[in-house]
Amino acid sequence: MENSQATMAFSVLKTLLTSLFFYADKPLILFADKCKYLQFIRCILVSAFLFFLRLLPSLLPSPSFESYKFCLNSKRGEALCTVADGGGGEPGIARALTQVLSIVTDIPVSSRKYEVVRSLAERLIDDNLLDGNEALREVNCTALVAAFCRTLKRLESAVVDHGGSRQLDAVTATPDGGGGGVIEDYYRGLCRVVRAAKFYGDVVRRRLSARDELSRSEVSAEKLAAELLWLAQKMTACGCAEEALRRWSSAQHLAWLSLSADPRLQGALVKVSAFLLDQARELWKEADEENMKYELRETNMNMLVSWLPLLCRASNGTDTPVLSINKRAELERTLELMINTLDEEEQEKVLSLWLQHFTYCPSSDWPNLHDSYTRWCTASRSSLLLLN
């Protein structure tokens, strides 16, 4: 009850402050277009206000939001958050596996103990599977889902903290790059201010979190990406690949940051996406219920919108292709299958996104979804003819 009241209070406070600010901002809008100095002042005010909103959750006491653990509901395949009870309700093997996976994420690859801890985690997971017991499989899934989420969060923090000026350029870049009138230019500039404020708000919020500070300087983003692939493979072996796919498809912020990341990190992220796209194809083939296909269709849409731009831009690698020729061809077929599962409007969004990034990336000609684009155009043309 206290948690819900605190959440509601924060939501009301945020809504009230936002409404008051934008109400007070209306007079400035009338004069900002006529005076460059007022435009500058207004941009500073908007940036400062949005920064304050991003910082507000960190300033408020919220111990109830920090004591959570993951448990897996095997009937629905969903990761649920429940308040931790101090570990007394968990079996010892579950606590052991959770601890080992946490250490694997924290310890740098350069440490001579890394392979020891990694091998221990492998052994615990494999032994639980070999017993063929459903409770032990659930132990694996619960610990792996929590580790995947934690590593994903650490990876995003590492990309934000160590991305440098190239990410700031990406934050403030204008997507269309075209010209326009004074109002269009103004709002485009305001959008850049909003994105920059959000970027810096995320940085400050993460640095205020003591948990995210743990060993961050010693763990590279590339290492975390490689461990995400390993965790996804283990989750697939334990029968909870759908949860990994759902988490990865919803990581839009990380996908956006990856477009300006180091090429080696981009290659590692492409490998994670390629593996999970394969799992999405297999899950779709195995789905036999309409509600299950509906959930998978939504996940497929999020996956394509989030990670298709990176596939278009980062498939070549620094010296060799990230994926083999056969793997690229197979993945193209997978992408076409996933696009075919979407409705006509969703296909338009995905294919429009693909065409934009595919066209403006001179260093890569993959994935080539020309056939899917042509089929969508034909279907759209037929739909129009049926209406007339």
Query: Is 238 in contact with 125 (CB distance < 8 Å)?
Result: yes
Measured distance between the N- and C-terminal CA atoms of the chain, rounded to whole angstroms = 57
Identify the band that residue 380 occupies on the pLDDT scale cut at 50, 70 and 90. confident
SS3 category, 34 = coil
**Position 113 in a domain:** no
Q: How many domains in the chain?
A: 1
What is the pLDDT at residue 62?
A: 43
Cα 181 to Cα 185: distance, rounded to the nearest angstrom: 6
SS3 category, 294 = helix
What is the pLDDT at residue 291?
A: 72
Cα 356 to Cα 43: distance, rounded to the nearest angstrom: 29
pLDDT at residue 384 greater than cutoff 70: yes
What DSSP letter does each residue of 260-276 carry, written as one string? TS-HHHHHHHHHHHHHH
Cα 87 to Cα 93: distance, rounded to the nearest angstrom: 11
SS3 category, 80 = strand
**Position 94 in a domain:** no
For residue 370, give its domain range.
262-388
**Position 15 in a domain:** no
**Position 123 in a domain:** no
pLDDT at residue 1 greater than cutoff 90: no
**Position 337 in a domain:** yes
What is the pLDDT at residue 165?
A: 40
pLDDT at residue 263 greater than cutoff 90: no
**Position 371 in a domain:** yes
What is the pLDDT at residue 145?
A: 94
Identify the band that residue 79 occupies on the pLDDT scale cut at 50, 70 and 90. very low
pLDDT at residue 152 greater than cutoff 90: yes
What DSSP letter does each residue of 37-49 carry, written as one string? HHHHHHHHHHHHH
* Residues making up the chain, counted from first to last: 388
What is the pLDDT at residue 112?
A: 86
Read off the pTM: 0.66
What is the pLDDT at residue 190?
A: 52
State mean pLDDT over 1-8. Answer: 48
**Position 219 in a domain:** no
What is the pLDDT at residue 11?
A: 56
Find the angle CA(264)-CA(265)-CA(266) to the nearest 5 degrees. Answer: 90
What is the pLDDT at residue 323?
A: 86
